[in-house]
């Protein structure tokens, strides 16, 4: 390890690990906006491509089934089976497209996240002769293509929705036929209502599953990318701290883990449930543990690389510490003003469609070369 000169060390008002936490909280808010952007694109695909295809190919069949009223005889049974087969074919084709898009987006996000985390650590520790390195890209690609997450690889999180949706349609058709509902009522049960953005009916359920799965898989990708960075640089880290968002949506399991410290790569790693927004931040070792001679450095500077665990902090607490310009960037001027006035909490804004962000926008804001 090269000898470090005092003038090469950047003075900081807080410790290195405090800086890592602050950077992670800001980044997490951006990731929530990225989730909203990607979700909006997938739901638009369902509304403009999948649903119209279903309407075009199934309307006539639904009409014939509805015309027979509560008849559950062989003719109706055959028509229902044919309709379900056609619907499954349409769903499979379109969910394969959704899955392919998600896999591509997640792989790009994995690469970005690894670069961001490496950069964040390097900036936090400053010029003390320590180099953080990015993980091998091959270790990142397997996360999406072949590493099961909660029993499924990423692809299956979306392609399996075709079967789930078909089964839901079968159930709703059985109820509709038994009750002798009209064609319009049957269509609403299955397709939903255009004026409501197809948020009702079985298609509404599909859209909610796609949104939830996307947000969960995105959390999985970002946390796994960070894990690869931590493992690659494990000799420089003293552990990982679990950080929950701690707002009205935080689950009991994440609340119970908030602030706990685990060895690198061990213990519960988010996401721990659907829509989980928790994360684990790296804890840089102290300068003594790193074998760095800082005896000649000013006390304040020596104290910055102290290996201490940062205090817990919520997104809202972090945002309150930021200047108005940062708050405006995160929330938008109007919402930021409401936030500053105490009219609303951060949980009302984070992840909403009001401030969308794609990966290119994120790279520009965080100064990361893609």
Q: Tell me what the mean pLDDT of segment 201-228 comes to.
A: 95
Residue linked to tokens 């279903």: 54
pLDDT range class, residue 181, cuts 50, 70, 90: confident
Between residues 326 and 221, the one the model is more confident about: 221
Q: Could you report the per-residue pLDDT of 34-68, keeping only the tens digit for each?
A: 999 999 999 999 999 999 998 888 888 888 877 77
Does the structure show a pLDDT above 60 at 139? yes
**Predicted local distance difference test score (pLDDT) of residue 246:** 64
pLDDT range class, residue 274, cuts 50, 70, 90: very high
User: Contact 239/267 with Cβ under 8 angstroms?
Assistant: no
**Predicted local distance difference test score (pLDDT) of residue 161:** 95
**Predicted local distance difference test score (pLDDT) of residue 365:** 80
Residue linked to tokens 């769903």: 91
Task: Tell me which of 153-162, 212-221, 255-264 is least confident.
Answer: 255-264
Which of left, alpha, beta for 367 (phi over 0: left; psi -120 to 50: alpha)? left
Q: Tell me what the mean pLDDT of segment 128-142 comes to.
A: 83
Does the structure show a pLDDT above 90 at 261? yes
Does the structure show a pLDDT above 80 at 73? no
Q: Could you report the per-residue pLDDT of 91-119, keeping only the tens digit for each?
A: 999 999 999 999 999 999 999 999 999 99
Between residues 125 and 190, the one the model is more confident about: 190
Does the structure show a pLDDT above 70 at 72? no
Does the structure show a pLDDT above 90 at 223? yes
**Predicted local distance difference test score (pLDDT) of residue 300:** 43
Give the bridge partners for 292, in sequence order.
Answer: none
Does the structure show a pLDDT above 70 at 87? yes
Q: Could you report the per-residue pLDDT of 341-362, keeping only the tens digit for each?
A: 876 666 555 554 455 678 888 7
Task: Tell me which of 80-89, 201-210, 239-248, 269-278 is least confident.
Answer: 239-248
**Predicted local distance difference test score (pLDDT) of residue 313:** 67
pLDDT range class, residue 1, cuts 50, 70, 90: very low
CA distances from 90 to 46, 49, 87 (A): 11, 10, 5
**Predicted local distance difference test score (pLDDT) of residue 7:** 32
**Predicted local distance difference test score (pLDDT) of residue 280:** 95
Select from 305, 351, 339 the least CA-distant residue to 4.
Answer: 305
Between residues 363 and 303, the one the model is more confident about: 363
Does the structure show a pLDDT above 70 at 2? no
Q: Could you report the per-residue pLDDT of 277-324, keeping only the tens digit for each?
A: 999 999 998 877 877 765 544 444 444 455 566 666 666 777 787 888
Q: Tell me what the mean pLDDT of segment 221-228 comes to.
A: 96
Residue 123 makes CB contacts below 8 A (sequence gap 6+) with 19, 23
Between residues 226 and 312, the one the model is more confident about: 226
Residue ranges covered by each domain of the chain: 6-366
Q: What is the mean pLDDT of the chain?
A: 82
Taking the whole predicted model, whether its pTM rises above 0.85 is answered as no
């Amino acid at each position: 390890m090269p000898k470090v000169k005092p003038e090469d060390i950047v003075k900081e008002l807080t410790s290195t690990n405090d800086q890592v936490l602050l950077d992670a909280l800001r980044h997490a808010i951006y990731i929530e906006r990225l989730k909203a952007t990607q979700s909006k694109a997938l739901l638009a695909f369902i509304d403009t491509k999948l649903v119209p295809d279903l309407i075009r190919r199934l309307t006539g069949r639904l009409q014939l089934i509805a015309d027979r009223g509560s008849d559950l005889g062989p003719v109706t049974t055959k028509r229902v089976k044919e309709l379900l087969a056609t619907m499954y074919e349409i769903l499979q084709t379109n969910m394969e497209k959704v899955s392919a898009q998600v896999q591509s987006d997640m792989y790009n996000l994995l690469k970005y996240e690894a670069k961001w985390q490496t950069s964040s650590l390097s900036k936090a520790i400053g010029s003390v002769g320590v180099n953080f390195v990015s993980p091998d890209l091959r270790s990142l690609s397997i996360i999406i293509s072949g590493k099961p997450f909660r029993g499924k690889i990423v692809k299956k999180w979306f392609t399996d929705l075709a079967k789930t949706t078909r089964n839901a349609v079968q159930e709703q058709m059985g109820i509709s036929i038994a009750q002798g509902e009209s064609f319009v009522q049957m269509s609403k049960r299955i397709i939903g209502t255009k004026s409501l953005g197809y948020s009702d009916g079985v298609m509404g359920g599909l859209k909610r599953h796609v949104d939830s799965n996307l947000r969960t898989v995105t959390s999985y990708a970002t946390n796994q990318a960070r894990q690869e960075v931590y493992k690659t640089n494990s000799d420089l880290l003293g552990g990982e701290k679990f950080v929950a968002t701690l707002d009205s949506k935080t689950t009991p399991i994440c609340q119970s883990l908030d602030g706990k410290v685990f060895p690198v790569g061990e213990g519960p790693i988010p996401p721990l449930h659907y829509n989980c927004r928790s994360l684990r931040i790296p804890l840089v070792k102290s300068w003594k543990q790193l074998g760095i001679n800082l005896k000649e450095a000013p006390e304040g500077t020596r104290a910055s690389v102290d290996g201490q665990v940062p205090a817990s902090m919520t997104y809202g607490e972090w945002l309150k510490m930021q200047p108005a310009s940062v708050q405006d960037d995160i929330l938008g001027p109007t919402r930021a003003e409401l936030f500053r006035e105490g009219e609303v909490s951060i949980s009302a804004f984070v992840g909403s469609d009001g401030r969308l962000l794609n990966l290119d926008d994120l790279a520009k804001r965080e100064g990361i070369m893609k």
